[in-house]
A and B are shown apart, each in its own frame.
Chain A
Amino acid sequence: MIYALQDRNIEKRFILINYMAVYEVGKLDDNVIEAINLTKKYGSFTALSDLNLNLSGSKCVGFLGPNGAGKTTTLKIFTDLIRPSSGQAIINGINVQQNKKKALSDCSALIETPEIYPSMTVREALSLVAELRGVPRSERSSQIEEVVAEVKMTDWLDKSVGKFSKGMKQRVNIASTLIGNPSIILLDEPTSGLDPRGMAEVRDIVKSLKKKDRLIFMSSHLLNEVADVCDEVAMIDHGKLLAYGPLEEITDKFSTVDDSAEAQFSRAIDESINSQISRIDGIVSVEKLDSRTVKIKYTGGLKSQEYILATLAGMQIGLVGFKSSSTRLEDTYLNLIKETL
């Protein structure tokens, strides 16, 4: 496989010469994270058991599991903060344990909530990261200001980190992962310690990162966060991978409940409108929550959701809000986790 190559530069040069092989460039330049039989043991306790996972492309993959499932252990192995008992952690074809510097050259990570040297200002802390990452001197200042603006910390740029709250430090940490414009970002519960507004802002940042051809691997135990941000999900418990795939496929496979959404209207919904809604293809049931809100259960996944939303809007009955719930993901999660107990 292309991503298993040890020296990507050599391969690129080869491809430049070999015209016929140019087609492979797309695959070669994919951002790839690969865990091969990754195992981590602490004495008799197995934190990670034979994890095999291959993530590639530009997307956000949620890493779901309860506390102690092995999420952070996996991410720490990928950043060489801890070493596997056996198996390999590979980033862009390079084994992290064999050549950490090269493996992480295009990968950034936020593991737990790191402390930043308290006497440093935000600018200095990010300069340290920028220098370590080899950001050219001419670009450093603008890049720092850019990432700080992205996490809404511009006003604090020249303030010492020591005075910051946990949430503010986490924002600086997130900003530090954006320095050097890495193609792969590993995030370990990035919204941890943030207030609801901060959590929403971080989710927006992660969503915006997806648009920039990045592979984001984000651990979380917040189902709504994963449902909101991620394209794919990997579920882990007791160190074992339970499922991996696109959100839709995983929920289709493991969930036993229907999709649902809450629709809000600007005016009251009477019985005739209610029955019109229930006749839309894909809708299983409509439950009135209050005079202007209904809960719709439907089948058919995203396509069905799209159709129902378009139809509701076309009915001109005052649709002002449509929010899908993460019930199916939650059900999937509970089914899978329950099975491992």
Chain B
Amino acid sequence: MIDMETMNVDINQEKKIPGSIDQLFIITKFEILNYFRSRRFLILLIIGLIIDLLLTGIIGYYRPQSFLSSSLSFYSGWVGQSITFIIILSAIFFGGDSISGEFQNKTGFFIASRPIRRSSIYIGKWIASFIASFLIIIIFLAITIANGVYYFGASIPYELWESLAFSILYLAAVLGFAFFFSSLFKSSAYSIIITVILFLFAFNLIQLLISSLVGIEPWFIITYASGIISNIFTVPFPAHVVTTVTHLGHGRTLTTTTYNATISEGLIIMAGYFIISTILGLFIFEKREFN
């Protein structure tokens, strides 16, 4: 017997799984929901607010000339010194265990065994981390601008927007790098500790040692590239190479070299870090096994 009706029913019942891009945004949506309910988002928000409140109080009370001489120096002092720290903290908080946590906490089994590409999970989580970090930065910046408007009026120097654009690229690069490290380890603790050590200590130390003592431009260090975020407030833009000769007495001198990444160089380094670390992280996550 030919049962056309049954056949039609079966064909209609063919399961329609959303496309990979749609699934990516589904992951992003639920991951953001997760972040907003998490303590880490709240803690990071509080840290950002504390920095803002401290600067508001100190500048209001002591009125330091280094901040109040011009709007440029104000934003340079406020944003230039703090935003990279907030970005690094965001990468540690949101990126440090983003992938390793899926293995350690076994949450990966809940998602990865479904009909979804692993790349959708990875990128979806990355976008969620980026959005959560970006929100923290925006809140921090909103308070900064409110202070700036109070002291210097509504004319905001365009260097602030340039600095913000560089910060966004830096955030992408730092998160990409944190995700890469997170995909290397199955332990959240390892991936978080290594991210902390690299961004808060190791990169800065290596940069200092090789530029000042060895005299090599640290073009391969991401924190070196981040210098453009604060240097953009300096007019004219700092020289690429600054050599300082210090006289130590008795005819002896100490020559130290300081490098400043040019804007194009900084952007290329950040983009390079973002692209390479994302490709590597994706590749590792695709190959990793949920044992």
- Rounded to whole angstroms, the CA-CA distance of A43 and B108 in the bound complex is 24
Is A320 an interface residue when CB atoms closer than 8 A count as contact?
Answer: no
Nearest chain A CB to B239 CB, angstrom units: 50
Complex contact A132–B109 (CB within 8 A)? no
Q: A106-B15, A131-B26, A132-B26 are in contact. Are A117 and B107 (CB under 8 A)?
A: yes
CB distance A16 to B107 under 8 Å?
Answer: no
State which of B30-38, B61-69, B181-189, B260-268 sits at the interface with chain A: B30-38
- With A111-B109, A120-B30, A173-B110 in contact, is A12–B11 under 8 Å at CB? yes
Name the residue in B17, B105, B109, B115 with the highest tally of chain A Cβ atoms < 10 Å from its Cβ: B115
At the interface, yes or no: A19 with Cβ under 8 Å from chain B? yes
Say yes or no for B246: interface residue by CB 8 A criterion.
Answer: no
Pairwise interchain contact B106-A114, C-beta atoms closer than 8 A: yes
B110 / chain A contacts, CB cutoff of 8 Å: 114-117, 125, 173, 176
Q: Of A97-105, A217-225, A233-241, A261-269, which stretch is located at the interface?
A: A97-105
Contact A101 B38 (CB under 8 A): no
Chain A residues numbered 91-143 whose CB sits less than 8 Å from any CB in chain B:
100-117, 119-120, 124-125, 128-129, 131-134
Q: Let me know if A124 and B30 touch, CB within 8 A.
A: yes
A261–B51 CA distance with the chains assembled, in angstroms: 75
The distance in angstroms between the C-alpha atoms of A265 and B146, with both chains bound, is 86
CB contacts under 8 Å to A, within B104-141, are: 105-117
Q: Chain B interface: which of A76-84, A243-251, A324-332?
A: A76-84
B114 touches A132 (CB 8 A): yes
Cβ–Cβ contact B7 & A22, under 8 A: yes
Known: A115-B110, A132-B18, A133-B15. A105 touches B115 (CB 8 A): yes
A76 CB contacts on chain B under 8 angstroms: 289-290
Q: Bound complex: CA of A112 vs CA of B113, how far in Å? A: 11
Could you tell me the distance between the alpha carbons of A114 and B104 in the complex, rounded to whole angstroms? 11
Query: Is A25's beta carbon under 8 Å from chain B?
Result: yes
Contact across chains for B17 and A119 when beta carbons are under 8 A apart: no
B contact residues around A29 at 8 Å (CB): 10
Which B residues are in CB contact (< 8 Å) with A125? 110
Judge if A340 is at the interface, Cβ distance under 8 Å.
no
Q: Which of A16, A19, A79, A134 contacts B17 (CB 8 A)?
A: A134
Quick check: A81 and B113 within 8 Å, CB to CB?
A: yes
Complex CA distance for A119 and B37, rounded to whole angstroms? 7
What's the least CB distance linking A199 to chain B, in Å? 21
**Are A105 and B17 in touch, CB under 8 angstroms?**
yes
Q: Are A132 and B113 in contact (CB under 8 A)?
A: no
Choose one: B15, B20, B113; the contact of A105 (CB below 8 Å). B15
Residues facing A in B158-210 (CB within 8 A) are: none
Given A83-B289, A113-B106, A182 contacting B38 (CB threshold 8 A)? no
A132 with B106: CB separation less than 8 A: no
B2 touches A (CB below 8 Å)? yes
Q: Is A65 an interface residue (CB 8 A)?
A: no
- Is B291 positioned at the interface, with any CB of A under 8 Å from its CB? yes
Distance in Å from the Cβ of B73 to the closest Cβ of chain A?
43
A6 to chain B, nearest CB (A): 15
Given contacts A82-B289, A182-B15, contact A104 B109 (CB under 8 A): no
Judge whether A132 and B23 touch: CB under 8 Å. yes
Q: A81-B289, A111-B109, A180-B15 are in contact. Are A128 and B115 (CB under 8 A)?
A: no
* CA gap between A180 and B117 in the complex, in Å: 18
Q: Which residues of B sit under 8 angstroms from A101, Cβ to Cβ? A: 17, 20, 115-117
Out of A12, A15, A112, name the residue touching B106 (CB < 8 Å). Answer: A112
Q: Which residues of B are found within 8 Å of A83, using beta-carbon distances?
A: 289
For residue A9, CB closer than 8 A to chain B, the reply is yes
User: Is A133 a contact of B7 with CB atoms below 8 Å?
Assistant: no
A81-B112, A101-B117 known, 17 other contacts, Cβ within 8 Å: A79-B112, A100-B115, A105-B15, A105-B17, A108-B114, A109-B113, A111-B290, A115-B105, A117-B34, A120-B33, A120-B34, A128-B30, A132-B23, A132-B116, A176-B110, A180-B15, A182-B15
A-B contact pairs, 28 of them (CB 8 A): A12-B7, A12-B11, A25-B6, A25-B10, A79-B113, A100-B117, A101-B17, A101-B116, A101-B117, A102-B115, A104-B115, A105-B15, A109-B113, A111-B109, A112-B109, A113-B106, A114-B106, A115-B110, A117-B30, A117-B110, A124-B33, A129-B114, A132-B23, A133-B17, A133-B114, A133-B115, A134-B15, A180-B15
Residues on A lying within 8 angstroms of B by beta carbon are 9, 12, 15-16, 19, 22, 25, 29, 76, 79-83, 100-117, 119-120, 124-125, 128-129, 131-134, 173, 176, 180, 182
